[in-house]
């Protein structure tokens, strides 16, 4: 089982990520190279990269399973502001170059929101941008994330993801990241996950799935909301998520938790604690923890 979670790119960059992942008992992780909601980025310090690689080796973390996530404010689907669209393109190009320096193979990207464009135009804008982005000789692949379909989000159906993938010229550098919360919210019944995988395989090819985001959902199927819940505390439920995490056909694919921090007061950010150590344990033990929130509080207090 290749299982980890979202960690922060702290003062020691990739080394901070690595230390945090190990503290949760994870054997992989995902990070943003800065704040997810902005595009301010520091230069990569190669000393931290070397130290991180050493620490990964000692802790059985294969860097090939480590994932980067592009900030979610870049939008390749909306071309109405030329300057913004070009900025998104050049930012993603630079982010992929940073991944090469870090030795990271995959970067997850939200396809984008069409805003005032039609869905079809939005999808074509994304394809145009991707063909430009993937034309250089950088190695890092882009993984398109399956979206919940909030507002004008593109990539919330198999058809849309397929349309983008099929029209990208550089097939070697494009793949998919499926997100369980987003799939649920977009209308996929995860209780019949095998049927979804079959459909995915027929349309896009199962080998294109390079990452799975494992999240429960606060909302019902087809809600188009995108609000993540802790494992077993949402509408998807532990058994279904456990089935997906352990799925034989996805056994070599890294699974990443992006569930919310918890605490007595969700407004008080200083008193919120990461759930990952305990959620990873649930999957390791094959057992739902009905005392999750208390366990987290006791551990971090």
Q: Which residues bind Fe ion (CB under 5 A)?
A: 145, 179, 213
CA distances (Å), 215 to each of 148, 236, 268, 275, in order?
12, 9, 22, 12
Residue 185 interacting with Zn ion (CB under 5 A): no
Kindly tell me which of 179 and 185 has the beta carbon lying closer to Fe ion. 179
Please report how close the Cβ of residue 266 comes to Zn ion at its closest, in angstroms: 17
Please report how close the Cβ of residue 68 comes to Fe ion at its closest, in angstroms: 11
Please report how close the Cβ of residue 153 comes to Zn ion at its closest, in angstroms: 10
Task: Record the tokens describing residue 10, joined without a space.
Answer: 């702290």
Kindly tell me which of 15 and 216 has the beta carbon lying closer to Zn ion. 216
Report which of 197, 219, 216 is spatially closest to residue 208, judged by C-alpha positions. 197
Angle between helices 82-102 and 119-133 (to 10 degrees): 50
SS3 label, residue 87: helix
In DSSP terms, which residues pair with 5 in a beta bridge? 29, 257
* 213 interacts with, out of Fe ion, Zn ion, none, CB within 5 to 8 A per kind: Fe ion
Size of residue set near Zn ion by CB under 5 A: 1
Kindly tell me which of 15 and 236 has the beta carbon lying closer to Fe ion. 236
Please report how close the Cβ of residue 130 comes to Zn ion at its closest, in angstroms: 21
Kindly tell me which of 49 and 108 has the beta carbon lying closer to Zn ion. 108
Element at 18 (helix H, strand E): helix 14-23
Please report how close the Cβ of residue 6 comes to Fe ion at its closest, in angstroms: 9
Kindly tell me which of 49 and 147 has the beta carbon lying closer to Zn ion. 147
Please report how close the Cβ of residue 297 comes to Fe ion at its closest, in angstroms: 26
Element at 119 (helix H, strand E): helix 119-133
Q: For 278, which DSSP code?
A: H
* 226 interacts with, out of Fe ion, Zn ion, none, CB within 5 to 8 A per kind: Zn ion
DSSP 198-254: HHHHHHT-GGGEEEEEE-EESS-TT-----EE-TTSSSS-HHHHHHHHT-GGGTTS-
**What's the rounded Cα separation, in Å, for the pair 165 and 160?**
9
Pair 24, 300: CB distance under 8 Å? no
Q: Which stretch binds Zn ion (CB under 5 A): 38-46, 71-79, 218-226, 270-278?
A: 218-226
Kindly tell me which of 15 and 153 has the beta carbon lying closer to Fe ion. 153
Please report how close the Cβ of residue 226 comes to Zn ion at its closest, in angstroms: 5
Kindly tell me which of 49 and 112 has the beta carbon lying closer to Fe ion. 112
Which of the residues 220 through 239 are near Zn ion (CB under 5 A)? 226
Whose CB is nearest to Fe ion? 213
**What's the rounded Cα separation, in Å, for the pair 33 and 31?**
6
Backbone angles phi, psi at 153, to 5 degrees: -55, 130
The footprint of Zn ion (CB under 5 A) covers 226
């Amino acid at each position: 089982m290749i299982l980890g979670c979202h960690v922060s790119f702290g003062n020691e960059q990739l080394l901070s990520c690595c230390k945090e992942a190990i503290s949760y008992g994870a054997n992989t992780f995902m990070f943003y190279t800065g704040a997810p909601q902005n595009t301010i980025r520091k230069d990569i310090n190669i000393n931290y990269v070397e130290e991180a690689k050493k620490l990964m080796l000692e802790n059985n973390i294969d860097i090939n399973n480590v994932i980067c996530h592009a900030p979610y404010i870049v939008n390749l689907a909306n071309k109405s502001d030329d300057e913004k669209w070009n900025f998104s393109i050049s930012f993603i190009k630079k982010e992929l170059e940073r991944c090469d320096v870090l030795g990271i193979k995959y970067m997850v990207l939200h396809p984008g929101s069409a805003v005032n464009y039609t869905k079809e135009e939005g999808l074509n804008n994304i394809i145009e941008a991707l063909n430009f982005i993937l034309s250089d000789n950088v190695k890092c692949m882009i993984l398109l994330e399956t979206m919940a379909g909030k507002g004008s989000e593109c990539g919330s159906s198999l058809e849309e993801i397929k349309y983008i993938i099929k029209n990208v010229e550089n097939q070697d550098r494009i793949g998919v990241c499926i997100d369980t919360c987003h799939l649920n919210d977009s209308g996929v019944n995860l209780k019949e996950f095998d049927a979804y995988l079959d459909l995915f395989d027929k349309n896009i090819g199962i080998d294109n799935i390079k990452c799975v985001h494992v999240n429960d959902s606060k909302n019902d199927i087809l809600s188009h909301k995108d609000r993540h819940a802790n494992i077993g505390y949402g509408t998807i439920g532990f058994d279904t998520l456990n089935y997906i995490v352990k799925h034989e056909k996805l056994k070599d694919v890294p699974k990443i938790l992006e569930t919310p921090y918890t605490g007595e007061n969700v407004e008080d950010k200083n008193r919120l604690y990461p759930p990952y150590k305990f959620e990873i344990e649930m999957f390791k033990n094959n057992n739902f923890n009905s005392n999750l929130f208390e366990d987290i509080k006791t551990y971090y207090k």
